[in-house]
Structure 1
Amino acid sequence: MDRVAEEIVEAQDLHPAPAPSTAEDDDEPFPSMSEQISEQLGGVRGLIESSVPVLAFVLLNVLLGDNVAGLEKRTALYWAIGGAVGTAVLIGVYRLLRKEPIRHAVNGIFGIALGAWLAWRSGDAKDFYLPGILLTLAQVVALIVSVAIRKPIIGYVWGVLANKGKHDWFDNKELFRTFQWLSLVWAASLFVRAGVQGVLYLADQATALGVVRIVISWPIYAATFAFTVWVVRRVTRRQQAALTP
């Protein structure tokens, strides 16, 4: 009997019981609003870095185009493409050398490279922005379809990003309805972004298209994301309060 007791004690020492969760942990089931927004947008630095290649393209295309610098339109476009791709690559290399996360940088390089290839192939600066417009419209369609089949994308995104990969919200009627209409909010937000850029694309306003992409895209995204986090936190906290004796 003494030997059994000793073995139990040894097992407890090797595998200590997990520390009980605190009330603070229970009250904060997912990261704070600022942490989530920072993660998704890459913080202020991420916003700046994602805009620099587009800004380089716009500035070089305007300053060098229309023979302002004695260059032909296509030559000026090539310089603008080189500036955009070059700055995107430099940002990625800089982050890599500093051993910093490069997810946002890699995404940026891919999008810039695709737009640059289309613009180079057509010789038209506006095609630089076409991949972003089409991708945004595809996201709008996906969001609407997810609501129609009662599988709201925003709910699944929230589960992955903020709920440790769990999707227990699906059995929570209030949260389910919340993610349904939030998915439509996101669809409307993205449609506005793509719609404004699409109109300028069809009007052959390449410079205005670049300016609009920089000025309105990220602010709209950030505002929609902040609204989403606020709504979800409000619903979950109200439900937790209702369960508290």
Structure 2
Amino acid sequence: MTRPEPTTETSVPLEEQPEPSFSEQLSEQLGGWRGLVESSIPVTVFVIANMVWELRPAVIVAVASGLLIGAFRLARKQPVRHAVNGLFGIFLGAFLAWRSGEARDFYLPGILISTGYTIAMLISVALRWPIVGYVWSVVVDGGRTRWRDEPVLLKTFSKLTVIWAVVYFLKVGAQALLYLAHKDDLLGIARLVLGWPPYALLLAFTAWYARRVTRQLA
């Protein structure tokens, strides 16, 4: 009976494989870079189409682009959770704009949703359950809330949540002023400029700052 020859290939045990970084996990939980790009496509299509054509053709092509993105993800058996969330806002905005005949109403759901986010973040800080801390616990710590027993972490996540709330407040304020002034084209451009770029910067800063504090405590 012969012994099997030793192989030169070595496998890395599962527990020794490096886990994704906090920034990578946080980005994935919130939709990732691809989710950011895909969510901006229907809005970009609407802004351009509304400048070239009339309102209703612009609404149609914007909704169609959102449906194509969702269908593409389904065809490739990819997660559609973030695509569905984005489509809800697109459909609601399209319905409002179609009914009122005003292009500015296409952006109204986004303004209201961002307002809701702002209020929710401030309330979470007041209740000592900052949303950024909760997301951190889900992404990094398996949903445990041990960070609330650490004053430094509680203060850190409260500070980060307030920063997110302030940025969202500024976004809402700028878009609300354009909405009330009936500046439809400028409102569309502002929606794009104030969409994923501030989000990406906030995400990067949050990941860096939270990782810096947790490393110091460790």
Same topology, TM > 0.5: yes
Shift of the 132–36 alpha-carbon distance from structure 1 to 2, 3 Å rule, reads same
Aligned to 1:211: 189
Shift of the 42–20 alpha-carbon distance from structure 1 to 2, 3 Å rule, reads closer
Q: Which deviations, in whole Å up to 9, do the C-alpha atoms of 1:121-161 show, x marking residues without a partner?
A: 11100000001101111111111111122221211121112
The alpha-carbon deviation at position 119 of structure 1 amounts to 0.6
Q: What RMSD in Å do the two structures reach over aligned CA positions?
A: 2.0
**SS at 2:88 equivalent:** helix
**SS at 2:30 equivalent:** helix
**1:85/1:113 contact within 8 Å kept:** yes
How does the TM-score come out when normalised to structure 1? 0.78
1:62 is aligned, of 51, 54, 60, to 51
Q: How does 1:39-188 map to 2 (within 5 A)?
A: 39-43=29-33, 45-64=34-53, 76-188=54-166
Shift of the 20–138 alpha-carbon distance from structure 1 to 2, 3 Å rule, reads closer
Cα distance between partner residues in 2 of 1:153 and 1:209: 28
**SS at 2:195 equivalent:** helix
**1:114/1:131 contact within 8 Å kept:** yes
Cα distance between partner residues in 1 of 2:26 and 2:116: 24
The alpha-carbon deviation at position 46 of structure 1 amounts to 2.4
Cα distance between partner residues in 1 of 2:138 and 2:29: 13
Runs of 4+ in structure 1 displaced over 4 angstroms? Answer: 19-22
The alpha-carbon deviation at position 91 of structure 1 amounts to 0.5
The alpha-carbon deviation at position 78 of structure 1 amounts to 1.0
Q: Which deviations, in whole Å up to 9, do the C-alpha atoms of 1:179-235 show, x marking residues without a partner?
A: 111111110011111111111111111111111111222110111111111111111
Cα distance between partner residues in 1 of 2:80 and 2:15: 34
Larger of the two Rg values belongs to structure: 1
Cα distance between partner residues in 2 of 1:88 and 1:48: 12
For 1:194, give the aligned amino acid.
V
Structure 1's unaligned 5+ residue stretches are 1-18, 65-75, 241-245
**1:178/1:232 contact within 8 Å kept:** yes
**1:42/1:104 contact within 8 Å kept:** no
Q: Which deviations, in whole Å up to 9, do the C-alpha atoms of 1:63-117 show, x marking residues without a partner?
A: 01xxxxxxxxxxx211111011110001101110110111121111111000001
Cα distance between partner residues in 1 of 2:102 and 2:88: 19
Aligned to 1:33: 23
For 1:161, give the aligned amino acid.
V
**SS at 2:147 equivalent:** helix
Cα distance between partner residues in 2 of 1:90 and 1:129: 20
Cα distance between partner residues in 2 of 1:175 and 1:114: 38
The alpha-carbon deviation at position 51 of structure 1 amounts to 1.3
Cα distance between partner residues in 2 of 1:120 and 1:20: 53
Structure 2's unaligned 5+ residue stretches are 1-12
**SS at 1:47 equivalent:** helix
1:193 is aligned, of 171, 175, 195, to 171
Aligned to 1:7: none
Cα distance between partner residues in 2 of 1:20 and 1:105: 31
